[in-house]
Amino acid sequence: MASLAAVTALALTGCNAVVDGTPTLANAPDAKLSVKGVDSTSSFDRVAQNALADIESFWRTSYPKVSGGKQLEPIKGGLYSVDGLKVAENRSADGQPVEDNACAERSIGFLVDNAAYCRLDDSIVWDRAPKHLFAELAKKYGDFVVALIFAHEFGHAVQERLGVFDDDPKTIYTESQADCAAGAWAKAATQQRAPHFRDITLAKVDDALEGFLNGRDSTPENIDDISHGNGFDRLSAVADGFDKGVTYCYSDGYFSSRTFTERPYNSPEDEASGGNTAFAKVVDTSANNPFVKDLNRFWTSAAQSIGKTFKPVKIAQAAHPKCGADASTEFGYCPDDNTVYFSTALAQRTYNSLPDVDVDRQNGNVTLLSNQPADFALGTMFSIGWGFAVRHQLFSRSLDGAAALQAGICYTGAYAKDINVEDPPGGFLLSPADLDEGVAALLDEVPQDSAFGARDTTGLQRIQSFIKGYKGGKSVC
């Protein structure tokens, strides 16, 4: 695909400080770019133009930093807005302004539910249909998710200018780099360096990250289908771009610094279940719960490696934890009896919390789904509880505040890495979709007052904490 069009993965197919994005200035008047097929009544086209204007401005300043001082060349092939509904219904581009778009000439179907940078003619094209993917994501998660999509696409245009494609890198690497670029631009927006998005707060960034995750690719059927990375891979790149900037994203060592976790299911049975263990088994309070046993296996071994003893934790159902949390909390670790407590209602809600997408293949219309099964969303919650136990038992540290939550999440990342391998030490293995489920929980379920609470952390910070543990191991937490 990289030889024709670099397509955003939303197309279906380190706890570092974060800059305060509190707005102080009004947004600039709407941009008026030259866009073929633009619909003056389309709110999506309005946001797209504003985003592209700000992104191009950002890169005019940033490009010399990654190009050895060269100036940014403007997009030569133009911008195209397409009514993807008409394309889907007519199975042609008749009446659309893409007759001269090189990628549309090769494959008209790629226009539907998509936004893409086309290498063949150096253009950017998108589907503005109100009931198609990006417009639906914008309705649910806000305009900034649209801006992130175009920041990703412009990241491909930067790659073309830098000659990144000359060595024919794997698609997953170039997609990751474009995600990193989107993160770098998002950071600039929170610093009020995006005139049309001066109202962006860190909360709106978190909403956009949820939208990015919601529009992720489905689990590939085989290794050859891997292209953009799963939601965890993508948000990891966005977070790194936000944290480290464009000079990291386009550094010579970027590709070698990336590790990817996207993979197909191991068996038809695993695929049929979506990789999910039944809810009743996840919350089994007996000594036979394999997940509980494996968490205790991991932390017992970790404690022994530093000459300490870890007392195995148990889980129990209760309306509220017996200690260690606010009385209104329905989930938490109680150090007095070394137990992670959960209410059945909260556990069920977390288990059924994954966002997803359903596409009508006849017309491309999209329904954004909520409450899809996600066993590792709940598993992430339990694992954070174990992280609190580690903090209490092994280091006698406080379980209050942001530091405790970020440490618990970091420990969860370290545990996830241990069981996301072909032959995990305890035989307990993550399924391909589990990391996406965990990230979704970090964004939406963990910060609920009935769970651990946000504790003055942002979703991005929580993701960064998880990545820190996943990449660096438990010792960095």
Residues 6+ apart with CB under 8 A from 178: 6, 8, 152, 153, 155, 156, 159
User: Strand, coil or helix: what is 73?
Assistant: coil
Query: Residues 71, 137: one domain?
Result: yes
Residues 431, 331, single domain; the answer is yes
Q: Is the predicted pLDDT of residue 209 greater than 80, yes or no?
A: yes
By mean pLDDT, which of 13-27, 52-66, 440-454 is the weakest? 13-27
Q: Per the structure, how many domains does the chain have?
A: 2
Name the pLDDT band for 221 (thresholds 50, 70, 90): confident
Inside any domain, residue 262 = no
Same domain for 310 and 188: no
Confidence of residue 103 (pLDDT cuts 50, 70, 90): very high
CA dihedral angle for residue 103, residue 54, residue 202, residue 445, rounded to 10 degrees: -10
Token pair of 413, please? 């990342």
CA distances from 13 to 7, 25, 217, 248 (A): 10, 38, 6, 28
Under the banding of pLDDT at 50, 70 and 90, the label for residue 13 is very low
The answer to the question of residue 147 being in a domain is: yes
The answer to the question of residue 267 being in a domain is: no
Can you give the pTM of this predicted structure? 0.92
Q: Are residues 331 and 205 in the same domain?
A: no
Same-domain check for residues 244 and 297: no
Tens of pLDDT, residues 327-363:
789 999 999 999 999 999 999 999 999 999 999 999 9
Q: How confident is the model at residue 4 (pLDDT cuts 50, 70, 90)?
A: very low
Instruction: Report CA 269 to chain centroid distance, whole Å.
Output: 26
Asked if residue 141 lies in contact with residue 210, where contact means CB atoms within 8 angstroms, the answer is yes
Q: Are residues 237 and 348 in the same domain?
A: no
Distance (Å, whole) CA 431 – CA 329: 29
pLDDT 10s digits, 391-430: 999 999 999 999 999 999 999 999 999 999 888 888 889 9
d(CA 48, CA 101): 18
**Alpha-carbon distance 42 to 135, whole Å?**
10
Domain end: 257, 285, 315, which one?
257
The Cα 185–Cα 403 span in angstroms is 27
Q: Where are the beta strands (DSSP E) in 322-455?
A: 331-334, 339-342, 354-359, 366-372
pLDDT in tens, 112-167: 999 999 999 999 999 999 999 999 999 999 999 999 999 999 999 999 999 999 99
Average pLDDT on 452-461 reads: 97
Residue 266 lies in a domain: no
Task: Write down the pLDDT at residue 267.
Answer: 85
Among 72, 90, 14, 33, CA closest to 406:
14
Q: Which of 196, 229, 257 is the last residue of a domain?
A: 257
424: CB partners within 8 A, 6+ apart: 418
Query: Burial level of 234, CB count in 10 A (0-12/13-18/19+)?
Result: buried
Q: What pLDDT score does 24 carry?
A: 57
Instruction: Please identify, among 257, 287, 313, the residue that sits at the C-terminal boundary of a domain.
Output: 257
Query: Please, which pLDDT band fits residue 5 given cuts at 50, 70 and 90?
Result: very low
Work out whether the CA dihedral 64, 169, 171, 433 comes out positive or negative: negative
Decide if 103 is inside a domain: yes
Q: What's the pLDDT score for residue 10?
A: 38
Residues 226 and 278 in one domain: no
| Assigned token pair, 406 | 């970020």
Average pLDDT over residues 28-43: 96
Q: Quick check: is 264 in a domain?
A: no
Using DSSP's 3-state secondary structure scheme, residue 317 falls into strand
Percent of the chain with pLDDT over 70: 95
Distance CA 122, CA 314 (A): 57
**pLDDT (tens digit per residue) in 281-302:** 999 999 899 999 999 999 999 9
Quick check: 255 and 49 in contact, CB under 8 A?
no
Reduce the secondary structure of 192-213 to three states and give it as a string: CCCHHHCCCCHHHHHHHHHHHH
Specify the pLDDT at position 334. Answer: 97
| One-letter amino acid for residue 299 of the chain | W
Q: What residues pair up with 372 in beta bridges, in sequence order?
A: 354
Is 80 contained in some domain?
yes
- pLDDT (tens digit per residue) in 155-186: 999 999 999 999 999 999 999 999 999 999 99
61 and 204 in a single domain? The answer is yes
* Within a domain: 265: no
- Cross-strand partners of 340: 315, 333
For the chain, helix (H) and strand (E) counts, in that order, are 18, 10
**229-283 pLDDT tens trace:** 999 999 999 999 999 999 999 999 999 999 999 998 888 888 889 999 999 999 9
Same domain as 319, residue 247: no
Q: What is the tens place of the pLDDT at every residue in 307-318?
A: 999 999 999 999
Copy the structure tokens of residue 127: 């589907």
Tokens 């790149």 sit on residue? 237
Would you say residue 17 has pLDDT above 70? no
Instruction: Classify each residue of 73-97 as buried b or exposed e, where b means 16 or more C-beta atoms within 10 Å of its C-beta.
Output: eebebbbbbbbbbbbbeeeebeebb
Average pLDDT of the residues of the chain: 92
Same domain, 277 and 214: no
Query: Are residues 43 and 99 both part of a single domain?
Result: yes
* CA–CA distance, 275 with 323 (Å, rounded to integer): 33
Pair 350, 375: CB distance under 8 Å = no
Q: What share of the chain is helix, strand, coil (3-state, %, to 5)?
A: 50, 10, 40
Q: 369 lies in which domain range?
A: 272-476
Q: Return the higher-pLDDT residue of 220 and 111.
A: 111
Is the separation of the CB atoms in 455 and 402 below 8 Å?
Answer: yes
- Phi, psi at residue 6, to the nearest 5°? -95, 115
The predicted pLDDT at position 271 comes to: 87
CA distance 285 to 345: 16
| Residue 152 φ then ψ, to 5° | -65, -50
Does residue 470 share a domain with residue 322? yes
* Per-residue model confidence (pLDDT) at position 3: 27
Largest CA distance in the chain: 72
